[in-house]
Amino acid sequence: MKFYKILIISLFLSSLAYSDIRKEFPSYSYVLTEFNVDERFIDNPEFKRFVWKNKNDYRKRFIRAVERGGLIVPTMKEMMYQRDISPVFLYISMIESAFDTSAKSRTGAGGLWQFVKATGADFDLKITKNLDERYDPIKSTDAAVKYLYKINDNLESWYLTTMAYNCGNGCVNKAIRKAGTRDLGILISSKNKYIKAETKKYIQKVLLMAMIGENYLFKHDDTVGQLMYKINSDSITPVKVKSGERLSTLANILNMNKFYLEKINPHLKKGHAPYRQGYTINIPTSKVDIFHSRYQQNPQNHPSYYSSNRGQYKRYTVQKNDSLYSIARKHRVLLDSIKQANNYTMPKLYVGQQILIPINNTYARR
């Protein structure tokens, strides 16, 4: 008899605790609405248990992620406003990477939004031995927004889109066909296997993190979400640099630690811009005025020029009837200097090919 009394009291206290979720997270209505979830889902027993079990740990994760996010968080949020998508989808990235710009999964997915190579390529993210734009905070966020819109065009519901971000369109459509419904409560229920367990947990993670992050808007004594704005008073701005510009050089010009510049440009694997014209490097928005005054005003920093530890160069596009000899004469440099500037070996020239031309005497001297 005593056992049953304890059990009844335990169930009562548990029920009481779960019933306080609405009071503890008044943000639930806003968050669920943004994800196209019926507000009554807050009373779903399995979701309540998930929230109750994980809320304290996820608050800690939220704080660590925001601290790690640094300059990128306000930039990502502003991009979402500009592209007319709810900023609550920022929490997908928080769950995917914890705002670690260099995050890489065991399966090879990378960056803030954890794109695999194939998906990255589908959205024009360039991946080479020296460059991986899946790790560019701005370009990957732009690609992620396009990807989310593409998924939603098929599924027509943002919570289903979020689930598909985890397991794919086909996975979610198959689950809907099996279940005979789009009801989130049924899809995530532990009583069925319409969709894989990882995806059931994934959507709940995103919803809980969003409720934590947006709660300060609705509850004056909950300041966790405000950390996103208190910690991050700056943002990122991409600026055009000359071909091959090094992060170390730019850091010196901007009077900042190279480490922080590398953190917001992890896609530049070798620490320099690609050898092509008009490429952008991310810098703190607070440094843009310095960039304009110290960098852009220098003619040698024109995007058609670049530097390395071997000298100054410009890039030339091969024209019809060009030869190495005619190019050398046109630019008044030695033929050997062009060969050396292009790593000593030159393949057969073709129209449209870009080669390097020395613009100082580093290679012009015999």
- 2 within some domain: no
Cα distance between residue 115 and residue 327, in whole Å: 42
Do 221 and 352 have their domain in common? no
Query: In sequence order, which ranges of 123-257 are alpha helices (DSSP H)?
Result: 137-155, 158-167, 169-179, 184-187, 197-214, 227-230, 247-254
- 355 within some domain: yes
What pLDDT does residue 122 have?
Answer: 95
Task: Look at the chain and report how many structural domains it folds into.
Answer: 3
What pLDDT does residue 302 have?
Answer: 53
Residue 346 binned pLDDT confidence (cut-offs 50, 70, 90): low
Do 65 and 181 have their domain in common? yes
Cα distance between residue 267 and residue 281, in whole Å: 10
What's the whole-model pTM score? 0.77
The least confident of 18-27, 51-60, 290-299 is 290-299
Burial class (CB in 10 A: 0-12, 13-18, 19+), 198: exposed
Q: What is the CATH number of the domain that holds 209?
A: 1.10.530.10
Task: Inform me whether the pLDDT recorded for 4 exceeds 60.
Answer: no
- 8 within some domain: no
- 1 within some domain: no
Do 133 and 175 have their domain in common? yes
Query: Distances in Å between the alpha carbon of 259 and those of 40, 228, 256, 263, 264?
Result: 47, 22, 9, 6, 9
Query: Distances in Å between the alpha carbon of 174 and those of 50, 106, 161, 177, 178?
Result: 25, 26, 14, 5, 6
Residue 244 binned pLDDT confidence (cut-offs 50, 70, 90): confident
Do 208 and 90 have their domain in common? yes
What pLDDT does residue 355 have?
Answer: 79
Do 278 and 334 have their domain in common? no
Domain assignment of residue 300, given as a range: 234-308
Do 303 and 314 have their domain in common? no
Query: In sequence order, which ranges of the chain are alpha helices (DSSP H)?
Result: 2-19, 21-24, 28-34, 45-69, 72-82, 90-97, 117-122, 137-155, 158-167, 169-179, 184-187, 197-214, 227-230, 247-254, 258-263, 288-290, 324-331, 335-341
pLDDT in tens, 161-185: 999 999 999 999 999 999 999 999 9
Give kind and range of the element (H or E) at residue 305.
Answer: strand 305-308
Q: What is the CATH number of the domain that holds 342?
A: 3.10.350.10
What's the average model confidence in pLDDT over 275-288? 86
The least confident of 1-10, 63-72, 350-359 is 1-10
What pLDDT does residue 71 have?
Answer: 83
Burial class (CB in 10 A: 0-12, 13-18, 19+), 317: exposed
Task: Inform me whether the pLDDT recorded for 277 exceeds 70.
Answer: no
